[in-house]
Structure 1
Amino acid sequence: MKDAADAAAIAIVSEDVCKEVVSRADAFEAVEKVFAAMARGDAYNFPVIREAIGHADALYGFKSGFDRAGLVLGLKSGGYWPGNAARGLTNHQSTVFLFDPDTGRLRALVGGNHLTALRTAAASAVSIAHLARRDAKVLGMVGAGHQAQFQLRAAAEQRRFERVVAWNYHPDMLPKLGAVAAEIGLPFEAVERERLCAEADVIITIGSSTEPQIMADWVKPGTHLACMGTDTRGKQEVDPALLARATVFTDEVAQSITIGEAQHAVAQGLIGEDAVTPLGRVINGDHPGRTGDDEITLFDGTGVGLQDLAAAAVAMARAVESGKAQTLTL
C-alpha cells in the first residue's frame, strides 16, 4: 500500500500572493526572531554558493540553513541579472524551497523576489530599531534602485524621521525614491554624498558598488549605518576605515568578514573578526548595542539564507490558511 505521506501536497506561493499575505511587520518579526535564534545557536546557515556564471553578467547561487527553533529548513536559489531592468524584470530573481525537517520532503515553492526585498529591508529596520539613536531625525539613502524603496518604507517605521536626503550614482533614479518619501509624508532632497553624511542620523546604503561610496571622515558622530548592498566578494559600499571607527554588528560574522562589508577592513588589518558582533546578541540582551550618543554604529547586512526561509515560512503559512496557495504533488 502506498504511503499516504507520498501524496502530500506541495504548496505553491506566487509572487503576487506573497505581496498579499506578508506585511513589513511580519517580515520585521520573522527576521528579528531568526537573528535571535542564530545568536543562541538555535539556527544556522550553511555555506553560501554564489558564482558568476559567465552568461548575461549574472551572479547565481544558493543560500540555505536550518532554524531548529522555528523548524524551518530550506534554501533560496537565485541571483542577480543586471540586464533584467531593460526587460521590465527585477534584477534579483529567486525562489525559496521549504522542506519538512522531520522527513525531508518538499513542503513549498515560494516566490523569492518580493520577499528578498522585504526581508532585506526588515534586516536594516531591525538594526535601526536596536542601534540607532532614539532622537534620529534625518534618514540618508545611498542608492535608489528597486530595493531602496523597500528600505525607505521599513526604516521610516522605526524612528520619527523628519526628512530624507538621498544620493544615487544615477541621479535620474532618485525621483522614484522621492515619490515614496512623499507618499509616507517625508520631505525629500537629492544631495551630494558629503552633505548627506553631514546631515543624516541614519544612513542606509543599498547598491551594487565595488568601491567606497562613503568615506570614513564624512560620517558624523552618533550616526547609525545599515550597509545592505555588499553580499559578494569584491563588493564594497563604505571606506574600510569607517569600520575601524564604528562599533560593527552583522547578521552573521562568517559572511561579514568574507563576503560582507567587513571583508575589506579585515583584509587590510583594520579590524579583526572579534570586532564584529552578531545583531542577535543585542536582541537577546547579551550585548548592550549602542553605548553612547556619539558612537557610530554600523550594521553589515550580508543577507543570510535564514532570513529568506523565515519570510517564506510566513508566506507559506498565511497562503495555506487563506486558501491562496496552489498545490501540486510530485
Structure 2
Amino acid sequence: MFIVPEGEIAGLIGEDAAYQAVEGVFAAMAREEAYNFPVVREAIGYADALYGFKSGFDRAGLVLGLKSGGYWPGNAEKGLTNHQSTVVLFDPDTGRPQALVGGNLLTALRTAAASAVSINHLARKDAKVLGMIGAGHQSAFQMRAAVRQRSFEKVVGWNLHPEMLVRLEETATELGLPFEAVKLDHLGAEADVIVSITSSFAPILMADQVRPGTHIACMGTDTKGKQEVEAALLAGATVFTDELAQSVSIGEAQHAVAEGLIAEGDITEIGRVIIGAHPGRRSEDEVTLFDGTGVGLQDLAAAAAALRLAQEKGVALEVEV
C-alpha cells in the first residue's frame, strides 16, 4: 500500500489537475459509469464536530474508495484547518487497500474545481464581476479556481464577520483584481457570478437580491439543515447539481423541495451538461444555480490523480499491509 502524505499534495496537484479530475468524474456519472454510495455524516456530540464518510466507485477509471473526515470548528484556534479528511483507495480487483492519501488540500481543490466546472458550463460568457459570500479557508481556493473560467475584472465580497474579508482582498490582489467589501444587496446587484462557501444553517442570499443572468454556485451546504440561499431563489432559477440524491437530501435544494417550491425532477446533474445531454444555460437572462454538495467520487478522482503523480515523482511511501 502507498501513503501520500498531506505535505506532498501541494507539490502534486493544482487547479488544472483538480478541474480535469472533477469534470471527468461528473461526465462519468452522467454516463452511468461511476456512482456514489450513500453518505454518512453526523454530529458526533464532541468538539461540535461533524464527521462522516463519502465513498463510491468509478468503473471507467477503476477507482474505488472512500473519504473519511469532517468539520471541527475549533481547529483554527489550534493552528489547523477546520476541515480534516483522509482518502483511502482500494484495489477494485481484490479489495485490498491501495493507498492512503492526505485529503485536506484535496478537499479544498476538488470543491473549488466543482464550482469552476459549473462556472465554465453555466455562467454567461461576458461575466465580469465575481461575488464571494464567505471568507473562510476554502474561499481563497474558490476564487482562484473561478477566475480561471471567465475574464473577471473585479471581485466583491461579503462575510458575516467582516474582519475576515482580508483573506478575499489578499487573494484578489494576488490575482491582479480589485476587491470591494459590500453589503449583500450591492453584491447581488453587481455580481455576474456568485460563489457562496459558508457553513450557514440559515439563508444568507435572498431571491430579490439576485439579478437576471446571474450564475450562483452554492458550495457550502453538504449536511441536513444547512442553507446558504433563500429557497425561493431556487424556484426562480434553473437548478443543477453534482448528484441528485445528495442535492435533495443534504444539499441546498433540500429546503426548496421540502417546501414544495421545486421537485426532484426540476434538478439536473451537471454531468449531463458536460456530455451534451442538456443545453445548460438557455438565455442571457436565465438565473442558473449549481448545488455543489460534494460527492465522494470527486475526492476519489483527485486522490487517484495525486497518487499517480506521487508514484511518478517517487514521493509515495510504500508500506506492507
For the criterion TM > 0.5, the same-fold answer is yes
1:55 partnered with 2:35? no
| Alignment match, 2:208 | 217
Match of 1:286 among 274, 277, 292: 277
Q: In 2, Cα distance between the equivalents of 1:296 and 1:177?
A: 25
User: Shift in Å at residue 240 of structure 1?
Assistant: 0.2
Q: In 2, Cα distance between the equivalents of 1:176 and 1:265?
A: 32
| 2:83 aligned partner, one-letter code | H
Computing the radius of gyration from Cα coordinates, the structure with the larger value is 1
User: Shift in Å at residue 15 of structure 1?
Assistant: 1.3
Q: In 1, Cα distance between the equivalents of 2:14 and 2:177?
A: 21
User: Shift in Å at residue 233 of structure 1?
Assistant: 0.2
| 2:170 aligned partner, one-letter code | A
The residue correspondences of 1:272-283 to structure 2 (distance < 5 A) are 272-283=263-274
| Alignment match, 2:153 | 162
Deviation per CA, 1:231-281, whole angstroms, max 9, x where unpaired?
Answer: 000000000000000000000000000000000000000000000100000
Question: Is the partner of 1:213 in helix, strand or coil?
Answer: strand
Question: Is the partner of 1:289 in helix, strand or coil?
Answer: coil
User: Shift in Å at residue 176 of structure 1?
Assistant: 1.6
1:322 partnered with 2:274? no
| Alignment match, 2:81 | 90
1:190 partnered with 2:220? no
Q: Where in structure 1 do 4 or more consecutive aligned residues deviate above 2 Å?
A: none
| 1:73 aligned partner, one-letter code | L
| Alignment match, 1:121 | 112
Q: In 1, Cα distance between the equivalents of 2:8 and 2:78?
A: 23
Q: In 1, Cα distance between the equivalents of 2:314 and 2:162?
A: 43
User: Shift in Å at residue 14 of structure 1?
Assistant: 1.1
Match of 1:178 among 169, 174, 179: 169
| 2:272 aligned partner, one-letter code | R
Deviation per CA, 1:39-63, whole angstroms, max 9, x where unpaired?
Answer: 1100000000000000000000000
RMSD (CA atoms) = 0.4
Question: Is the partner of 1:211 in helix, strand or coil?
Answer: strand
| 1:158 aligned partner, one-letter code | Q
Question: Is the partner of 1:21 in helix, strand or coil?
Answer: coil
Runs of 5+ consecutive residues of structure 1 not aligned to the other structure: 1-9
| Alignment match, 1:226 | 217
Deviation per CA, 1:24-50, whole angstroms, max 9, x where unpaired?
Answer: 100000000000000110000000000
| Alignment match, 1:32 | 23
| Alignment match, 1:79 | 70
| Alignment match, 2:259 | 268
| Alignment match, 1:66 | 57
Question: Is the partner of 1:20 in helix, strand or coil?
Answer: coil
User: Shift in Å at residue 16 of structure 1?
Assistant: 1.7
Q: In 2, Cα distance between the equivalents of 1:101 and 1:178?
A: 44
1:257 partnered with 2:259? no
Q: In 1, Cα distance between the equivalents of 2:236 and 2:40?
A: 31
1:238 partnered with 2:243? no
Q: In 2, Cα distance between the equivalents of 1:125 and 1:57?
A: 30
| 1:220 aligned partner, one-letter code | R
Runs of 5+ consecutive residues of structure 2 not aligned to the other structure: none
Aligned length: 321
TM value normalised by structure 1 = 0.97
Question: Is the partner of 1:295 in helix, strand or coil?
Answer: coil
Q: In 2, Cα distance between the equivalents of 1:133 and 1:281?
A: 18
User: Shift in Å at residue 23 of structure 1?
Assistant: 1.4
User: Shift in Å at residue 177 of structure 1?
Assistant: 1.4
Q: In 1, Cα distance between the equivalents of 2:5 and 2:15?
A: 18
User: Shift in Å at residue 174 of structure 1?
Assistant: 0.4
| Alignment match, 2:296 | 305
Q: In 1, Cα distance between the equivalents of 2:45 and 2:320?
A: 34
Identity across matched positions, percent:
71
The residue correspondences of 1:137-148 to structure 2 (distance < 5 A) are 137-148=128-139
| 1:258 aligned partner, one-letter code | S
Q: In 2, Cα distance between the equivalents of 1:224 and 1:176?
A: 23
| 1:16 aligned partner, one-letter code | G
Q: In 2, Cα distance between the equivalents of 1:262 and 1:220?
A: 20
Deviation per CA, 1:41-92, whole angstroms, max 9, x where unpaired?
Answer: 0000000000000000000000000000111000000000000001010000
Q: In 2, Cα distance between the equivalents of 1:177 and 1:146?
A: 10
